[in-house]
Structure 1
Amino acid sequence: MPLHDWTRVSAGTFHGFHNAWITELSRALNNGVLPSPFYAEAEQVAGQTGPDVLALEMDSRQFIADEVLAPDGSSGVATLLDAEPQVTVTQVASDAEVYSERRNRLAIRHASGDRLVAYIELLSSGNKASRRMLDRFLDKVYSVIEQGIHLLVVDPYPPGPLDPQGIHAAIWNEIDPSTPFRFPDARHLTAVSYHAQRPPTAYVEPLAVGQVIPDMPLFLDGTHYVNTPLESTYNAALSVVPKHLRERLVEGA
């Protein structure tokens, strides 16, 4: 089922779907997509209800065997040397601009002691509802990438006055303002994977209402990634949306 126009329903309806999508992503990643010792776990921000992001971690008690990350197809793990992610736009930050004079306000930590590897962030309309909310989100994203934690961001909402070229353009302006991003065509929704190396690389796939959502890379380390099943998990999560609201979404697709 293609991507829907989520502006046709309330923020509360999307919130329920958002939580279900995170659950379905966690289920898929932990049941065949991720190799051992990696695992995904939903995390909740204080003061909010329901999961906010999906964290990818590595069990600190285990080692990564060479065969686990070998790109033989059996584990689903790909390597940049053999399979560059298939996206519309790839951006590599300029060494001169990366992290210059930038504040670091948010410390990312996890109580389990296992090593945090990556985050999946599904945006809601509230993330871009005001300058304060957007700045909070950008600070969080910048801090994550600065710490070498990989990131996959999906924004199913169209650009607004605060992000006229979409959420990736706003994020990339924090990382490397010397190479601004502009949408290459009429697709103005966003899926973007950040490979948190130095300098960072962004793999950007513009999306549109009515378009099938492609799998997106989620990086495990400097060279290896898995393809995240966005479309199948999106479809599974839709079952939590009440029937009459699903029909409203379909009318807008």
Structure 2
Amino acid sequence: MPLLDHFRPPLSLKRHWHSFHNAWSTYLAEALNQSLPEGYFAEPNAQFGIEIDIATFSETNLPDSTPVATQWTPRSPTATLPFQPTTDSVEVQIFSTQAGPTLVGAIELVSPANKHRPTHRNAFTSKCQTYLQQGIGLVIVDIVTTLSANLHNELMERLDLQPVSLETGLYAVAYRVAESDGASRLDFWQEPLTLTKELPTVPLFLKGGLFLPIDLEQTYHLTCTRQRISE
């Protein structure tokens, strides 16, 4: 199944990209659970930016027994700093159960919100940096065509690394934190993605040494088929 543009017409007018990403993460987790050895499991985790408003209201005829929530208030904050939490998260998390559920790997499917603003990109790369610094295996897959930011390059800058940058807008990158001769290193495998071309297979290195092939084409094709998306 060739890679389609889920973010521009005509497909974007017929299908919702977030529904596709949600389904893709589910089928990726399903495929992993069929190949992971005993003691491991994969779970999809899709969260999109949803705002919850907490409304205030005034009611004059409250009974005397009603608790008053304003009897105590905190002092002014010590500091107020700009902060952007990760709004969209579409990922597959792989856990080891040997010492309770422990995260050992993650596959991140990039959303438009992850690339939209510098603060959003910073939140996404911060999460990826945390994974890598903990030795957690990571794969990033970016098929978003409407924004040009390259999160792999920004992650490398965040880690203060200067490898050959990815010039392509769409890509899959697999990362492995390894150690040799007493020194840690970061290995990664870059795969450019192209519309109308099939997707590659990339390695997923789990913390602890195990690695698995992630057949992006197989799960992408399955998702398109189950979602009734055709070329």
Normalised to the residue count of structure 1, the TM-score between the two structures is 0.66
Structure 1 gaps of 5+ residues are: 62-112
Equivalent-residue separation in structure 2 for 1:182 and 1:159 (angstroms): 17
Equivalent-residue separation in structure 2 for 1:145 and 1:54 (angstroms): 15
Any residues of structure 2 matched to 1:80-229 within 5 Å, and which?
113-158=100-145, 160=147, 163=149, 166-183=150-167, 187-197=168-178, 198-221=184-207, 223-229=209-215
Give CA-to-partner distance per residue, 1:125-177, whole Å, 9 cap, x none.
1111111211111111111111111101100024845x2xx322122121234
Change (3 A) 1:215 1:178: closer
Equivalent-residue separation in structure 2 for 1:147 and 1:38 (angstroms): 18
Q: CA deviation at 1:15?
A: 0.2
Q: Residue 39 of structure 1 aligns with which residue?
A: 41
Normalised to the residue count of structure 2, the TM-score between the two structures is 0.71
Q: Does 1:57 align with 2:95?
A: yes
Identity of aligned residues (%): 31
Contact kept, 8 Å, 1:17 with 1:240, in 2: the verdict is no
4+ residue stretches of structure 1 with deviation over 6 A?
none
Q: Residue 15 of structure 1 aligns with which residue?
A: 18
Equivalent-residue separation in structure 1 for 2:6 and 2:90 (angstroms): 18
Contact kept, 8 Å, 2:125 with 2:151, in 1: the verdict is no
Q: Residue 69 of structure 2 aligns with which residue?
A: none
Change (3 A) 1:130 1:240: farther
Query: How much is the aligned-residue C-alpha RMSD, in angstroms?
Result: 2.7
Contact kept, 8 Å, 1:159 with 1:189, in 2: the verdict is no
Give CA-to-partner distance per residue, 1:78-136, whole Å, 9 cap, x none.
xxxxxxxxxxxxxxxxxxxxxxxxxxxxxxxxxxx322100111111111111121111
1:129 counterpart letter in structure 2 = H
Equivalent-residue separation in structure 1 for 2:131 and 2:216 (angstroms): 21
Contact kept, 8 Å, 2:177 with 2:186, in 1: the verdict is yes
State how many pairs are aligned: 187
SS at match of 2:154: helix
1:193 counterpart letter in structure 2 = A
Give CA-to-partner distance per residue, 1:169-217, whole Å, 9 cap, x none.
122121234335133xxx5311001102322111111111011111110
Change (3 A) 1:125 1:11: farther
Q: CA deviation at 1:12?
A: 7.3
